[in-house]
Amino acid sequence: MNTLTTPTPGVRVRFAPSPTGELHLGNARIAIINALFSRAHGGEFILRLDDTDAERSTDAFAHGIRDDLAWLGLTWSREERQSDREPLYREALAQLEAAGRLYPCFETPEELEAHRTWRRARGQPPVYNRETRRLTDEIQARAESGTHAPHWRFALEPRDIVWDDLVRGRCHYNGAHLSDPVLVRADGLFLYTLPSVVDDLEMGITHVIRGEDHVVNTAVQLQLIEALGGVAPAWAHLPLVLSADGGPLSKREGSLSLSGLRAEGIQPEAITALMAALGGSGAPEPGLSLDELARDFRLEAFGRAPPRLDPEDLPRLSARVIHTLPWETARARGVTLTEQAWPVVRPNLERLDEARAWERVLDGPLDPVTEDGDREFLDQAVSCLPASPWDRTTWKTWTDALKALSGRKGRPLFLPLRRALTGTDHGPDMNDLLPLLDPGRVQARLKGNTA
């Protein structure tokens, strides 16, 4: 049986980045949506590295992609690399040539641009196909000399190409209005189009979910699939994400690489929640696992309008993730607060690295913040400090006694105590924080000593 047409039951999707750079938010969104779709249908998610561009693809970028996907919590059943699959592409190329759908071209880039200009001047689409080729004597001689390696194009048929997209609805193109795609460069390098089709067929991919910048590629690839005798997958083309002002995403939105977002302290659950909801009908639900997100995931919920990304969305959602993050997860991400301290501190954090400041508050050493005018008041605070052990009623017992002793109330009563014990004006509820502090350390700080 032809390996390109072997049927495969069940849902199977792939994420196919090129390891020529870092993983960014836009293609991470495609990975997340593919992963959620496969989980929602009990299917399979494959990582495929489209690394046919040997000049730009690196192992370092491939490792970074794997690391970023794992950080997001994504798992894949297997990994494939196009650089290991060239024999399949050669087989498909021979099949196309035998069918009369592959032809050599000898034009230079400058000649191709002149051809496009020639067609535009006549009000024709600037496309390249066999019917509109105009071989000059120079190009003809070049072809006949045998000294110039050609690039190879796939001959599109001038007919309607129609499919029902799971996001965009009915899509319609005509092969006469599209350029015959280059499949192989003059140096023998396969370009994106053919390997992608061959791999999708051979791997039994049932659904191709990608950005709408690939819509024209799909029209071309449908004819390739037919020429190879394959069965086309279902297609879903998602609108590209725009910036808050409706323009393309840019550096104004901050770092859009996954590594950059990690360095900024963004939690992975914030990214998966936002990317799962962006462009859909629901609001992001930070803190949900991928399985929980997949439970209600539907491709049909995504509209055709390009979603906009507010640069404040991710930090805000990331903070919400932290506010409910389990202690075990926080520990795995480098937080050293105790299990008792974590639920007290986490509602006050925007980033996980802010927990270090509260580790110093609880375990020292900390320089207390005191005012000269509060010295007598703080001495009074030491004198009426309740004996340990402390619980969450101790703070009220203490401040009630201190209020009666000093005559202070409200902010003049509470703020000097908070500053002396924590070094800051804001933070966790002191009812919960005080029992976490060592009594000796509390007395030392009230006396103005580092502890």
DSSP 176-221: GGSPPPEEE-TTS-B-SHHHHHHHHHHTT--EEEEEGGGHHHHHHH
Residue 251 marked as a ligand binder = yes
Q: What backbone phi and psi angles, to 5 degrees, belong to 239?
A: -65, 150
For 138, other C-beta atoms within 10 Å of its C-beta total: 12
Distance CA 41, CA 234 (A): 14
For 113, other C-beta atoms within 10 Å of its C-beta total: 12
Q: What is the dihedral of CA 386, 388, 392, 393, to 10 degrees?
A: -40
Tell me which residue has tokens 């462009």: 279
Contact assessment for residue 270 and residue 55, using Cβ atoms and an 8 Å cutoff: no
For 27, other C-beta atoms within 10 Å of its C-beta total: 20
DSSP 292-358: HHHHT--GGG--SSPPEE-TTHHHHHHHHHHHT--HHHHHHTT----TTTHHHHGGG-SSGGGHHHH
Tell me which residue has tokens 């299917």: 43
Contact assessment for residue 280 and residue 302, using Cβ atoms and an 8 Å cutoff: yes
Beta-strand pair 182-184/151-154: antiparallel
Distance CA 167, CA 179 (A): 25
Angle between helices 268-277 and 313-323 (to 10 degrees): 120
| 3-state DSSP of 114-153 | HHHHHHHHCCCCCCCCHHHCCCCHHHHHHHHHCCCCCEEE
Looking at residue 233, the DSSP 8-state letter turns out to be: P
Binding residues for ATP: 251
Binding residues: 251
